[in-house]
Amino acid sequence: MSAKAAQKKERQEKILEAAIKAFSINGYHNSTVATIAREAGIADGTMYLYFKGKEELLISAFTFIMDNFLEKLEVKLAEAKNPLEKLKCIVTYHLTELSKDPDRAKFLQLELRQPAESVRRGIAKPLSLYMRKIDSLVEEGKESGMVRKDLPTKVIRRVIFGAVDETISSWIRRKDAAPIGSEAEAVFEVLLGGMAAR
Amino acid sequence: MSAKAAQKKERQEKILEAAIKAFSINGYHNSTVATIAREAGIADGTMYLYFKGKEELLISAFTFIMDNFLEKLEVKLAEAKNPLEKLKCIVTYHLTELSKDPDRAKFLQLELRQPAESVRRGIAKPLSLYMRKIDSLVEEGKESGMVRKDLPTKVIRRVIFGAVDETISSWIRRKDAAPIGSEAEAVFEVLLGGMAAR
Amino acid sequence: MSAKAAQKKERQEKILEAAIKAFSINGYHNSTVATIAREAGIADGTMYLYFKGKEELLISAFTFIMDNFLEKLEVKLAEAKNPLEKLKCIVTYHLTELSKDPDRAKFLQLELRQPAESVRRGIAKPLSLYMRKIDSLVEEGKESGMVRKDLPTKVIRRVIFGAVDETISSWIRRKDAAPIGSEAEAVFEVLLGGMAAR
Amino acid sequence: MSAKAAQKKERQEKILEAAIKAFSINGYHNSTVATIAREAGIADGTMYLYFKGKEELLISAFTFIMDNFLEKLEVKLAEAKNPLEKLKCIVTYHLTELSKDPDRAKFLQLELRQPAESVRRGIAKPLSLYMRKIDSLVEEGKESGMVRKDLPTKVIRRVIFGAVDETISSWIRRKDAAPIGSEAEAVFEVLLGGMAAR
DNA sequence: GATGAATGAGCTTTCATTCAT
DNA sequence: CATGAATGAAAGCTCATTCAT
């Protein structure tokens, strides 16, 4: 039975990967179930045995990526010693990880902004987990005296997330093959010390 | 003839406004030409006398907003005395201006990320103008000694833009009625001085 | 404008006739919108400009037939002098009229028995009108002393309607080309005098 | 072997009952093989070991009910002494029996009118047996002098069958919980003596 | 025999676009 | 110029049937 379950999981992931690829290239609305199915090597109808519909496929794909992303992030974070290092780790990891796989990056950037309310709801939780993670690290930083206490945690978090998000976005816009992990240092330096000269 | 041209322009703007409203509420793909036409008070076919198609309507709407946005931004910037003040002005203006009209904000945040290559191309120029503007202010800042020279201009720009962009995004996600212009101060403070305690 | 309205009505009837034909041959569920549209000489999508959907088409077709049926029935009934003659008129008319057009007859016999609740509701009114008509004639018959008063009106009505309905049904089952209007006499004789020998 | 055969028969009946239930509630076309299989406690594919397909299931279900119906009818008829009593027995039995089980009644009324020619053919025999039965009783009635000889047997039969059929139909339409066996008396009285006052 | 995952044909419906008026 | 009825391609989804296990 374990073999069967494994095969099922494998197929599910194949569909998810096909979906991510299709969505990242053409966007959700311009991707057809037929195309995704063909890419995944299954029949159209088979997709509906694994996902309720196209929309659930989108949400599942997003959750799939985010879960994996957050899981690996935790491993990385364990290596960092203090809150600031952990925050730097997040910046580095976010940029490095996403620049590894342009499909995945594009998918996240694009589909994160779905207007359909149902999609927003489905996507909300894993995204929120990430935000909460940053929040808690900022709080820890404040407690340990390494982060300024005169600024709202949420504002700091938005600047951090916005910075990495936009760095990825512009990378995608440029269709630059060059990885952007190397920029993590500079980005974090701005976040840390600000742009003002002293 | 001038009267005719004026009427034409007026009608064009009416269509654009209807399109922006529809796109921002339901997204590009869930908005129909028929709905937009009805909202604009014209017949379906009439739209095609003013725009090549639905996609051009999207691009035009984006350009329309951005042009207006940049135009008004220049006026504001004229009041600021030095590069840092100008950058603060941008942050403040971006947040204030967009939080005035949630529809427009949503439209910009969501539809900016269209995957269709043709849309990306059409959108690129006005967006690029904005980026260039920030870039030049950062450069000026460096020259005047107010901005750190040890960091790439592009990186600084991305952090600035990402910060305001994400602030707007999260505001939209929260569906918070409260305006966020008031957060400009804090956001800029982070950008300016960084999050690290001294 | 009248020309336009006329053309619209004409096209609507063309669609209805195509639907009746298709439904009567293959039944509602085995008929496709595409087939009906082709038969009516229009594009698939055009049907949706005239009817909300396939189901509304079914209900409209039924109502269309029944309205016409009842209208012409009234004309016929005006010629009959007393309640019994009127009832005989109904029997004769029902059999004659339906046997004129097998498509229509089959359609009525088949689709009258749709299990979908929404269809039942849509069909209910015109069917009910017919039943009520028979009821009122039976009542008149009782009042005038021509019809037995010791039997519930509804029971009599059901026997009358059932008799003609089944006569049509069996005619359809036999696929008998022979018209059955001629059987009206015998059917009514049974209804009138019963089967028992005296 | 007998045990095996018995189990097979039992399972077959279970499937038929599940089918009848599903068909009567949602109609043939809105019932899925999957639903029927689940209701019968078997796998989808198993159905195909007992029936050639969905359509054969429909025909078998109809035949199953009719066979049972006719079998029990014969028992009842044995109690009646003369042709007229036997005909009354049929009317009473038909109404009583069907009003016992609304599901079955609905199924017979609705699905009897399937347009698909193959279904019509499959259904024809058992239905015909019932018609023939009534015919022969009418003939007997004529021979024994209890039934009028001036009317075609078929016409009389159609009136009889139509009367009970419509009584059931209207009962279903009304969704009346009240059993209609009690109306048999009145219905038969109309059939026997006609509606005309003397 | 029994299973149920997989298939893929086929359906209804939507909607951007066209063009006769 | 403006209209809006007509178009028809395209898409998501269902479900009877098959067949490897």
What are the pLDDT digits (tens) for D149-191? 999 999 999 999 999 999 999 999 888 777 787 899 999 999 9
CA B174 → CA A1, A62, C145, C190, distances in Å? Answer: 44, 19, 78, 77
Q: What is the pLDDT of residue C1?
A: 52
* Token code pair at residue B166: 């994400």
In 3D, which of D194, D59, B55, B118 has the Cα closest to residue C190? D194
Alpha-carbon gap, residue C96 to C100, rounded angstroms = 6
Specify the higher pLDDT residue, A50 or C112: A50
Tell me whether residues A196 and B146 touch, CB distance under 8 A.
yes
- Quote the percentage of chain A above a pLDDT of 70: 99
**Residue D116 CA to nucleotide F16 C1', Å?**
16
Helix axes C83-100, C54-79, angle to 10 degrees: 140
> Please, what is the Cα angle at A164 between A161 and A165, to 5 degrees?
75
D187 in contact with chain C, both atoms CB, cutoff 8 A: yes
**Residue A50 CA to nucleotide E16 C1', Å?**
32
- A residues 33..72 contacting B (CB < 8 A): none
Q: What is the pLDDT of residue B1?
A: 55
Chain C positions touching D152 (Cβ under 8 A) are: 186
**H-type helices in A144-177, by residue range?**
153-174
Determine C/B contact with 3+ CB pairs under 8 A as the test: no
Q: Evaluate whether C71 touches C91 at the Cβ level (below 8 Å).
A: no
Alpha-carbon gap, residue C6 to C1, rounded angstroms = 9
List residue ranges whose Cβ is under 7 angstroms from nucleic strand F. A 31-34, 44-45, 48, 53-55; B 4, 8, 11, 42-46, 48-49; C 7-8, 11, 42-46, 48-50; D 30-34, 44-45, 48, 53-55
Determine C/D contact with 3+ CB pairs under 8 A as the test: yes
Q: What is the pLDDT of residue A18?
A: 97
For C173, which residue in chain D has the nearest alpha carbon? D120
In 3D, which of B168, B165, B163, B170 has the Cα closest to residue B189? B163
Alpha-carbon gap, residue C94 to D149, rounded angstroms = 25
C114 in contact with chain D, both atoms CB, cutoff 8 A: yes
Q: What is the pLDDT of residues B74-123, one digit of tens each?
A: 999 999 999 999 999 999 999 999 998 888 898 998 888 888 889 999 99
The mean pLDDT value for B139-146 works out to 96
Report, in ranges, which bases of strand E sit under 7 Å from a protein C-beta: 1-20
Nearest chain B Cα distance for residue A46, angstroms:
26
Alpha-carbon gap, residue B136 to B142, rounded angstroms = 10
Q: What is the pLDDT of residue D1?
A: 58
Interface C-D, measured as beta-carbon pairs within 8 A, has a size of 158
Tell me whether residues B193 and A196 touch, CB distance under 8 A.
yes
B190 in contact with chain A, both atoms CB, cutoff 8 A: yes
Query: Considering Cα of C5, then C9, then C10, then C12, what sign does the dihedral take?
Result: positive
Q: Which amino acid is at C52?
A: K
Domains for chain B: give ranges and CATH numbers.
56-193 (1.10.357.10)
**H-type helices in D27-152, by residue range?**
33-40, 47-50, 54-79, 83-100, 102-111, 117-143
A92 in contact with chain B, both atoms CB, cutoff 8 A: no
In 3D, which of D157, D169, A166, C179 has the Cα closest to residue B162? A166
* Token code pair at residue D15: 């499937």
* Token code pair at residue A194: 């600000």
Q: What is the pLDDT of residues A53-79, one digit of tens each?
A: 999 999 999 999 999 999 999 999 999
The mean pLDDT value for B49-66 works out to 96
Chain A positions touching B161 (Cβ under 8 A) are: 162, 166
Alpha-carbon gap, residue C48 to B71, rounded angstroms = 46
Mind listing the pLDDT tens digit of every residue in chain C (198 residues)?
577 888 899 999 999 999 999 999 999 999 999 999 999 999 999 999 999 999 999 999 999 999 999 999 999 999 999 999 999 999 999 999 999 999 999 999 988 888 888 999 999 999 999 999 999 999 999 999 999 999 999 999 999 999 999 999 999 988 877 778 889 999 999 999 999 988
Alpha-carbon gap, residue C195 to D192, rounded angstroms = 5
Asked whether residue B33, judged by its CB, lies under 7 Å from any atom of the DNA or RNA strand E, the reply is yes
Alpha-carbon gap, residue D160 to D155, rounded angstroms = 9
Please count the helices (runs of H) and the strands (runs of E) in chain B.
9, 0
Residue from A31, A148, A155, A195 to probe the interface with B (highest B Cβ count within 10 Å): A195
Q: Evaluate whether A18 touches A40 at the Cβ level (below 8 Å).
A: yes
Alpha-carbon gap, residue C111 to D174, rounded angstroms = 18
SS3 at position C163: helix
- D residues 1..30 contacting C (CB < 8 A): 25-27, 29-30
Q: What is the pLDDT of residue C81?
A: 93
SS3 at position B127: helix
Q: Which long-range contacts (CB under 8 A, 24 or more apart) does B10-16 make?
A: B11/B40, B11/B42, B11/B50, B12/B50, B13/B64, B14/B40, B14/B41, B14/B42, B15/B40, B15/B42, B15/B47, B15/B50, B15/B51, B15/B57, B16/B57, B16/B60, B16/B61, B16/B64
Alpha-carbon gap, residue D128 to C164, rounded angstroms = 19
Cα radius of gyration rounded to whole Å, chain D: 19
Q: What is the pLDDT of residues D84-120, one digit of tens each?
A: 999 999 999 999 999 998 888 999 988 888 888 899 9
Q: Is B27 left (phi over 0), alpha (psi -120 to 50) or beta?
A: left
**Residue D44 CA to nucleotide E2 C1', Å?**
10
Query: Considering Cα of B151, then B153, then B155, then B159, what sign does the dihedral take?
Result: positive
Question: Which residue among A146, A155, A161 sits closest to B190, beta carbon to beta carbon?
Answer: A155
* Widest Cα–Cα separation across chain C: 66
Chain C positions touching D156 (Cβ under 8 A) are: 190, 195
Q: What per-residue string of b and e applies to C149-173 under the rule 16 or more CB within 10 Å gives b?
A: eebebbbbbbbbbbbbbbbbbbbbb
Q: What is the pLDDT of residues B11-35, one digit of tens each?
A: 999 999 999 999 998 999 999 999 9
For B113, which residue in chain A has the nearest alpha carbon? A110
Chains that touch D (3 or more CB pairs under 8 A): C
**Residue A49 CA to nucleotide F14 C1', Å?**
12
Q: Has residue B180 got a pLDDT over 90?
A: no
Asked whether residue C118, judged by its CB, lies under 7 Å from any atom of the DNA or RNA strand E, the reply is no
Nearest chain B Cα distance for residue A6, angstroms:
34
Alpha-carbon gap, residue A86 to A75, rounded angstroms = 11
Closest nucleotide (C1' vs CA) to C36 is E12
The mean pLDDT value for A72-98 works out to 96
Alpha-carbon gap, residue C191 to C148, rounded angstroms = 12
* Token code pair at residue D185: 């008396």
DSSP code for B182:
G
Asked whether residue A76, judged by its CB, lies under 7 Å from any atom of the DNA or RNA strand E, the reply is no
Residue pointed to by tokens 């959108």: B123
Alpha-carbon gap, residue C90 to D100, rounded angstroms = 33
